Amino acid sequence: MIDFELSEAIQQTRRMTHMVAEQMMRPISREYDEREHEKPMEFLETMWNVSKGATMTGGDGGEGERARRDPAERTLGMVVAVEELCWGDVGLYLSIPNPGLGGAAVAAAGTPEQKQRFLARFKEGKPKWGAMAITEPHCGSDTSAITTTAVRDGDHWVLNGTKIFCTSGLMAAEKSDGFVVVWATLDRSAGRAGIRAFVVDAGTPGMHVTKVESKLGIRASDTATIVFEDCRIPLDNILGSPEVKKTSHGFKGAMATFDATRPIVAASAIGVARAALDFVKATLEEQGIAVRYGAPLQRLTALERDVIDMEAQVQAARLLVWRAAWMIDRGLHNNLEASMAKAKAGLVVTQVTQKAVELLGPLGYSRRYLLEKWMRDAKISDIYEGTQQINQLIVARRILGYSSEELR
């Protein structure tokens, strides 16, 4: 039966995460936007202690997490929580120590033994981070063009190559006992079929962070370049089968990670969009300007029309995100719906935050308020975890019944 009411448990989660967003994130939001490359360690340690790394990605968060959340609503609960936290500050949210996207890959493609070996650490000890390394200087969306190599040498894989744009890469590779999941090719001539994901523990010799990017937004989150130079890792650190066959599902398995992570990233976009929308509405209310819902369109001011359009856009995107998450919880294949949600949310947050800055004029542009920051933070949502265009391509292929060869 179609129902839009969040369960009591999720509403509880929402209240708690909203409190965190409002009381712990907002007060330091501006500070860590300005102090790029510094970490709010007090906040991060508090978050580590309360969550002990409950995954943000639908991965195996362990018994504690299972007990707290009804597995039938785990992903839905997560997207609701992520929206709230990112309403607080998306850069800080991305910095929270947890298995991250690397953890999602392990959860999606790892064996039970690998999940235990790599994820158990997030339940104890000091704060840890996981990261995912896919993008290279010369390839982004076209992951089949990856040039980082993995070559077998006795009991080890030897990795060589350069990865860029790794979210939390510095924290995962060098500043904690976390790990980095690296996409590399076993056989370049095999194209996609040769690509596998490998887990590299923090501090492994041959793995170096050579650069931390300075960015338009999400400045509280580190985005690293990681170089692999004869980096040797154990044989059983490969996710999936090492055999390269034309029919291999290794690549598909890795791509399936995105079906789980895109709704989460889309939810983070909704949080930023709502922050901007709430700010606009609060400002209008202070000025005694009421938006007349239901009045004839012809009678509305341009301002009212914009606000109404923003609200409808945000809610439409939110419902697409909820549906994609609900499908995961139902065990349904959500490749199409995850990309729809991501494409829509990425565009909506970009447009809504830009419109909000426009509507509030000098207040929108001033760094005295957070709105200009949200506009800068927003843009990444339409890029990372699959750009607008790559998600459109995925949607197009699915609705047309075309393979990646038929629609390039």
Choose among 90, 93, 187, 180: nearest CA to 148: 187
Per-residue contact string for residues 9-48; x = within reach of another protein by CB under 8 A: -x--------------------------------------
Residue 71, class by beta-carbon neighbours within 10 Å (0-12 exposed, 13-18 middle, 19+ buried)?
A: exposed
Tokens of 52: 């002990």
Binds another protein (CB under 8 A): choice among 120, 235, 289, 399: 399
Told to check if 340 binds another protein by CB under 8 A, we report yes
Told to check if 2 binds another protein by CB under 8 A, we report yes
Binds another protein (CB under 8 A): choice among 4, 113, 246, 287: 4
Q: Give the residue with the Cβ less far from another protein, 231 or 320.
A: 320
Told to check if 5 binds another protein by CB under 8 A, we report yes
Tokens of 178: 């976390």
Choose among 67, 204, 63, 77: nearest CA to 122: 63
Told to check if 384 binds another protein by CB under 8 A, we report no
Q: Distance between CA atoms of 350 and 382, rounded to whole angstroms? A: 7
- Window contacting another protein (CB under 8 A); options: 15-23, 86-94, 235-243, 323-331: 323-331
Catalytic residue among 337, 385, 405, 406: 385
Told to check if 343 binds another protein by CB under 8 A, we report yes
For residue 384, the minimal CB distance to another protein (Å) is 19
Q: Distance between CA atoms of 313 and 126, rounded to whole angstroms? A: 41
For residue 303, the minimal CB distance to another protein (Å) is 15
Binds another protein (CB under 8 A): choice among 41, 50, 216, 316: 316
Residue 146, class by beta-carbon neighbours within 10 Å (0-12 exposed, 13-18 middle, 19+ buried)?
A: buried
Q: Distance between CA atoms of 26 and 19, rounded to whole angstroms? A: 10
- Judged by CB under 8 A, the chain residues 261 through 300 that form the site for another protein are 293-299
Q: Give the residue with the Cβ less far from another protein, 282 or 399.
A: 399
Q: Distance between CA atoms of 384 and 264, rounded to whole angstroms? A: 12
By rule CB under 8 A, what count of residues binds another protein? 46
For residue 259, the minimal CB distance to another protein (Å) is 16
Q: Distance between CA atoms of 304 and 290, rounded to whole angstroms? A: 8
DSSP H stretches of helix in 287-386: 302-329, 335-359, 361-365, 371-378
Catalytic: 385? Answer: yes
For residue 76, the minimal CB distance to another protein (Å) is 6
Neighbours of 44 (CB within 10 A): 18
Q: Give the residue with the Cβ less far from another protein, 288 or 296.
A: 296
For residue 298, the minimal CB distance to another protein (Å) is 5
Q: Give the residue with the Cβ less far from another protein, 90 or 343.
A: 343
136-to-47, 140, 146, 182, 189 alpha-carbon distances in Å: 31, 6, 7, 11, 18
Per-residue contact string for residues 52-81; x = within reach of another protein by CB under 8 A: ---------------------x--x-----
Choose among 156, 161, 351, 387: nearest CA to 272: 351
Q: Distance between CA atoms of 173 and 168, rounded to whole angstroms? A: 8
Residue type, 134: I
Told to check if 406 binds another protein by CB under 8 A, we report yes
Q: What positions carry a catalytic annotation? A: 385
Interface with another protein (CB under 8 A): 1-7, 10, 73, 76, 293-299, 308-309, 311-313, 315-317, 319-320, 322-323, 326-327, 337, 340, 343-344, 389, 392-393, 395-397, 399-400, 402, 406-407
